[in-house]
Amino acid sequence: MQNLFGETQTDPILLKLDRRHADIQGTGPAGETCGTCTHLAHVQYHDRTYLKCAKMRSRWTNGAGTDVRAKDAACRWWDRS
């Protein structure tokens, strides 16, 4: 959606905070993703690797509910890796 000045704007109703990310997706730098963030953790469990946000370490579970995707839009806690 574009505002009166022609700038792209995200509808706040569509933004959602979940258990996976430290903050709302898309609130970080434009064009950046979780895959380029220093907080992206590679967690080994048995013979598989799972991606998780290290800022959410206290809420990690052994299930998919706290997994992130490298292509997810960056949040405001994004930091260059």
Q: Give the angle subtended at the CA of 58 by the CAs of 42 and 14, to the nearest 5°.
A: 80
CB neighbour list of residue 74: distance below 8 Å, 6 or more residues apart: 25, 26, 27, 28, 29, 32, 33, 34, 36, 37
Q: Is the pTM of this model over 0.85?
A: no
Per the prediction, the chain carries an average pLDDT of 87
Residue whose pair of structure tokens reads 């995707």 in the numeric block: 69
- Residue 53's pLDDT is 96
**Of 21, 36, 28, the residue nearest 67 (C-alpha):** 21
Residue 3 has pLDDT above 80, yes or no: no
- Residue 17's pLDDT is 72
Residue 32 has pLDDT above 90, yes or no: yes
Between 37 and 18, whose confidence is greater? Answer: 37
